[in-house]
Structure 1
């Protein structure tokens, strides 16, 4: 199959969109925070477009077609777990798994319960706790205990469905950080960075939801997250390597954008 031709699986043709930029990852404030959290250089975003209507029941075919596409294999960047260096996919993926993941939360009030349950004080400071360890993370505050320790009294502040939300997964990933993370004493930087990422990654899908007068909230996790919309093709993916999301964070963005000058006005 020649480069640039549609893939055999599902008839999908993918194209690499190197010109697509993600402002949420390039602002000075975000860059500074990622450096503090030991995530700078380990967070990346790429964009790919495709040409066929996406059908949710064919998600496995879609994902497999993506990894087999000749325009994807030499361009998809991955972070090597052994060397820590960025490299290209370089070969076809032989097996994938797609899991439905919800994305229903449109407001940062989703996290207000952190204040209500004394995980964060009214002034924004994160409540400290006795030091413990949840491999590979040190735990010295109630926020990380709530995120990691399943038998803690705070763990059920967020139900299992809550924890599967894309918004929560972004938040958790930022709070845990990388191997040499310098943790925050206050909640605001985590919330603000989560909001910036979320708005930049999902707002186009919400345009579709507005025009159709209904919300289309579907994610698929393969080793990636994929956001989909029926009305036009918009997909956001999140690839996670390493235990508890702390090693690697990569977003791949599939896009055929038909709308411009959109002001995101959800309660974020």
Structure 2
């Protein structure tokens, strides 16, 4: 479904209402906010919660997403960042791009190979490396971004597609003036914290097995002139400007997890 656009013809319509009282601990905990400040993400990362009125199934993700962006309540409350300030969507959305993102992980075991591969030292310190373009570079960022890295396949392609890994990568790369960590623990711990806040799980009564019930959609929206969300036209290639819709089909809740790449706030 990646790269497929949905226009406004023959769309199943959903209605949405903002849930302004919904709180997210990672946006209120001072330690996490200090890390966002260090990573140049503070003030540029946000979450909103909405409820919706009909049953959701992954096969109608595109209809759901287009309905979301065209809903009057969403149009009145959803914000994008422009020139360092949050701005409303100022033009009607006519089409959307939707990718269903795999989201199956219920533990942090996905990152275990990093500790035994050479990307990290036994202490958790990230191994530094020489780089032609970036003088202060490390093997973790190189593994995350460059297929020619000798460690690129430490995390398999299927695992790289998981929302848990994508979230980790977003945090590791940070914003425009990111101050990178020397150890991996802040990235892993913050990833775990955010993931728990965003993802819904259930436990099977008989087996006690925990499974994810959320559907994660990576989304972009377009007006008549082109891309209008999560960034502006011309920002299609900036992977650190992103938006995910995280749908809980049982509660009929959808979370909008959004970040706009740039220079974050300089104070809490």
Mark yes or no: TM-score above 0.5.
Answer: yes
Q: Closer, same or farther in 2 for the Cα pair 1:178/1:131, shift >3 Å?
A: same
Query: Which residue does the alignment assign to 1:235?
Result: 254
SS of residue in 1 equivalent to 2:50 = strand
* Corresponding residue pairs, total: 230
Cα distance between partner residues in 1 of 2:263 and 2:195: 17
Instruction: Report the alpha carbon displacement of residue 217 of structure 1 after superposing the two structures with TM.
Output: 5.5
Cα distance between partner residues in 2 of 1:68 and 1:90: 12
Query: Which residue does the alignment assign to 2:107?
Result: 107
Instruction: Report the alpha carbon displacement of residue 185 of structure 1 after superposing the two structures with TM.
Output: 0.4
- Could you report, residue by residue, the CA deviation over 1:43-90 in whole angstroms, capped at 9, with x for unpaired residues? 11111111111122221111111111111101001112xx12111123
Query: Which residue does the alignment assign to 1:192?
Result: 189
Query: Which residue does the alignment assign to 1:167?
Result: 164
Instruction: Report the alpha carbon displacement of residue 124 of structure 1 after superposing the two structures with TM.
Output: 1.1
Query: Which residue does the alignment assign to 1:266?
Result: none
Cα distance between partner residues in 2 of 1:101 and 1:41: 25
Instruction: Report the alpha carbon displacement of residue 116 of structure 1 after superposing the two structures with TM.
Output: 0.9
Query: Which residue does the alignment assign to 1:42?
Result: 44
Q: TM-score, normalised by structure 2?
A: 0.78
Q: Closer, same or farther in 2 for the Cα pair 1:150/1:172, shift >3 Å?
A: same
What residue ranges of structure 2 are gaps of 5+ in the alignment? 1-9, 221-242
Q: Closer, same or farther in 2 for the Cα pair 1:138/1:59, shift >3 Å?
A: farther
Cα distance between partner residues in 2 of 1:29 and 1:132: 34
Query: Is the contact between residue 26 and residue 197 of structure 2 (CA under 8 Å) also seen in structure 1?
Result: yes
Cα distance between partner residues in 1 of 2:178 and 2:157: 26
Deviation larger for 60-69 or 8-17: 8-17
Instruction: Report the alpha carbon displacement of residue 215 of structure 1 after superposing the two structures with TM.
Output: 4.7
Query: Which residue does the alignment assign to 1:87?
Result: 87
Between Structure 1 and Structure 2, the one with more strand by share is: 2
Cα distance between partner residues in 2 of 1:9 and 1:201: 27
Instruction: Report the alpha carbon displacement of residue 16 of structure 1 after superposing the two structures with TM.
Output: 1.1
Query: Is the contact between residue 12 and residue 62 of structure 1 (CA under 8 Å) also seen in structure 2?
Result: yes
Query: Is the contact between residue 53 and residue 232 of structure 1 (CA under 8 Å) also seen in structure 2?
Result: no
Deviation larger for 88-97 or 58-67: 88-97
Query: Which residue does the alignment assign to 2:216?
Result: 219
Cα distance between partner residues in 2 of 1:108 and 1:148: 20
Cα distance between partner residues in 2 of 1:66 and 1:139: 42
Query: Is the contact between residue 177 and residue 262 of structure 2 (CA under 8 Å) also seen in structure 1?
Result: no
Cα distance between partner residues in 1 of 2:172 and 2:19: 30
What residue ranges of structure 1 are gaps of 5+ in the alignment? 1-7, 250-268
Instruction: Report the alpha carbon displacement of residue 248 of structure 1 after superposing the two structures with TM.
Output: 9.5
Cα distance between partner residues in 1 of 2:72 and 2:217: 22
Query: Which residue does the alignment assign to 1:206?
Result: 201
SS of residue in 2 equivalent to 1:59 = helix
